Amino acid sequence: DSLRKKLIDGEQAARFSKELTVLDRHVPVDIGLDETFLKPPDEIRLSELYGRLEFKGLLKNIVKEKEDEREYPWTECASEKDMTALTARCSKSKNIFFDIMPVPEEEGKALAAILRAGGETVFVSFSEGPFKETFRCGIRTVLEDENIEKTGYDLKGQIVLLEKEGITLRGRIFDIMIADYLLDPSASGYDLPSITSRHLDVSLKEETDPTSLSSRRVRIIEEIRGIVEPLLKEKHLAELFDDVEMPLVRVLAEMEANGVNVDTAHLKKKARDIESMLKEVTDRIYALAGEEFNINSPKQLQVILYEKLSLPAIKKTKTGVSTDESVLSKLASMHELPGALLEYREMNKLKTGYYDSLLRLAEKNNGRIHAFFNQAVTATGRLSSSDPNLQNIPVKTLLGQELRRAFVPESKGRVLITADYSQIELKILAHLSEDEKLIKAFRGGEDIHRATASEIFSQPLSAVTDEMRSAAKTVNFGVIYGISAFGLAKDLGIRVDQAQGFIGSYFARYGGIKAFIDRTVETTRETGYVLTLLNRRRYLPEIKSGNEHIRKFAERAAVNTAIQGSAADLIKLAMIECSRRLKGSGAKMIIQVHDELVFDVPEKSAERVSACVKEIMSGIIPLKVPLTVDVECGKNWFDTEPIG
């Protein structure tokens, strides 16, 4: 009866729907059938439209880049006379463009150099042939000449290669990769083909002959410098490039070459311990599930959790009900299995992602790890590291701490010194916002989180509980990252209206911070970019988006970049100055992680080096609040104690 009633009630709608779906064959048509066929787009008009709307991705689909078909002739240095002529030409031109070619079969070993000076490109091999030592001396003479400026691509990698050949790159350097990164730190990539495409509107032609490819690279490097150098000056980035990023290239190259000594015996022992622990937790998981299954299979996990155990489905994804960490954390209070799964994942991640990979890297390099420090990756200007990623080594868990214990000095009689900026981002926030209360708290040496708790809970400092301080700490750092009331409520485990009240109280007490955030967002909206303390730029066109989510993300990124990017400026300056001041002391800078520097130093000079590092880091840029540096010393990266 109910179905019959629905059909009767919906009769009119059903008839209208049918009418909409049936083609009307009697409509007058004034065009021929040929005109209805799909035709190729008018590429000229479409290109104009896409260009006007700044649809760069769609524009690339129409305007296929031309391959660079130009010929780039080169000559080979074949005699001592040729080498003499080349060194004279380089000396006279005062500016050379170069590329070092590594041996394909031997990682990290240089084979030859391509040098361009005075309009001529010359190939010089110093790995074989009767004149190889003469040529090596000639290349050294040119590259170590302080009066000759050198331009290249990824000079950090080139410096590392050259140092292995006993050649030190001296004089002013210009790295087009770093220049392009400064001009647009959010670009899709900084490999040479991408940079070539951006600035020359051609694609880098594939070459089968490595010498011809290197010759082409050198000429393109020359062309790109001619484009990016004026842009650096126009956008007021030249000083940042010359005084920070280029000196840092040398510092990072030295750090990569130094590497870090690793206690492989410690790693092996802990890897075996984790293996045993994994076996125990795996058996426990099987017992709790009542059967054996593939723990790493989300599909099988879904069946166990949601079908067999009938646990609630908290979050869904395209592939089914989620089994991610956040979901398992919530389910852990309802059943033992999710908690055991979280244990398994943490241990498995540490073993495969860190212990095993660190062992593999260390054994490959005689017990040392040579991580890559990436200068052109993050949009904020922060450095990152890879192979391995030292910044992701966990420190809060016991197993993560054991991992840091594996990083040790290179020999007996040496120690590790760690120097870490304390609350650097909050101090930069105080400096940029000029908020009187925040500045006063820092100048007075107060516990900033306790001071914030006192403000937002309207309590005297003596009445602030640890719970209040913890909540205030979350609010303090949440402000930097643009946390919402919903996000804060989730972090603190409170209602959204309570979280909104915290945020409201915070901005009511710290009016200067609210004004700074509003000012930063508005300035970024007007100019299209945000600036750091040293005028580093990040373009954020999304800040004008009509999509609220995209626009809000850009607003948060603007504030975060002003603060985090300025922190990056500070640590980079500190690294450069530490490297300069510690020359000849026997101390080596070996690790940079976030706001922390790690040094491998002779034990007898540990106090002197610590004092020097602390002085440099705390005074690197005068701020409206004092910079505090925590310096510690120890026999490994984890077990350190205050020194002095």
* CB within 8 Å of 31: residues ≥ 6 apart: none
Residue linked to tokens 């075996």 = 272
Closest CA to 78 of 130, 18, 16, 36: 130
Closest CA to 559 of 644, 470, 469, 479: 479
pLDDT bracket for residue 57 (50, 70, 90): low
Residue 125: its pLDDT value, please? 86
Pairing of strands 384-386, 529-531: unpaired
Residue 457: its pLDDT value, please? 87
CATH number of 75-257: 3.30.420.10
Q: How far is 58 from 43, CA to CA, in rounded Å? A: 11
Q: Can you give the residue ranges of every domain in the chain?
A: 2-66, 75-257, 262-369
Other CB atoms within 10 Å distance of the CB of residue 166: 8
Residue 375 has pLDDT above 60, yes or no: yes
Residue 152: its pLDDT value, please? 96
Q: Is 504 helix (H, G, I), strand (E, B) or coil?
A: helix
Residue 644 has pLDDT above 70, yes or no: no
Q: How far is 398 from 396, CA to CA, in rounded Å? A: 7
Q: Evaluate whether 152 touches 115 at the Cβ level (below 8 Å).
A: no
Q: Evaluate whether 176 touches 151 at the Cβ level (below 8 Å).
A: yes
Tens digits of per-residue pLDDT, 573-590?
A: 999 999 999 999 999 999
Closest CA to 639 of 411, 420, 406, 414: 406
Bond prior to 312 in cis (omega within 30° of 0): no
Residue linked to tokens 């000012």 = 519
Look up residue 6 and give its DSSP letter: H
Residues paired with 550 in a beta bridge: none
Q: How far is 124 from 105, CA to CA, in rounded Å? A: 19
Residue 520: its pLDDT value, please? 97
Closest CA to 381 of 558, 557, 180, 536: 536
Q: How far is 451 from 51, CA to CA, in rounded Å? A: 52
Exposure class string for 223-262: b at 16+ Cβ within 10 A, else e = bbbebbbebbeeeebbebbeebbbbbbbbbbbbbebbbbb
Closest CA to 151 of 93, 105, 211: 93
Q: How far is 99 from 151, CA to CA, in rounded Å? A: 9
Residue 239: its pLDDT value, please? 97
pLDDT bracket for residue 344 (50, 70, 90): very high
**Span 230-248, average pLDDT:** 97
Q: Which amino acid is at 598?
A: V
Q: Evaluate whether 181 touches 240 at the Cβ level (below 8 Å).
A: no
Residue 66: its pLDDT value, please? 57
Decide which of 15 and 179 is more confident: 179
pTM score, whole prediction: 0.84
- Phi/psi of residue 131, nearest 5 degrees: -110, 20
What's domain 262-369's superfamily in CATH?
Taq DNA Polymerase; Chain T, domain 4 (1.20.1060.10)
Whole-number average pLDDT of the chain? 89
**Span 63-90, average pLDDT:** 80
Residue 456: its pLDDT value, please? 84
Which tokens belong to 495?
A: 């209602």
Residue 225 has pLDDT above 90, yes or no: yes
Q: How far is 437 from 187, CA to CA, in rounded Å? A: 38
Q: Evaluate whether 150 touches 169 at the Cβ level (below 8 Å).
A: yes
Q: How far is 159 from 168, CA to CA, in rounded Å? A: 7
**Span 83-97, average pLDDT:** 92
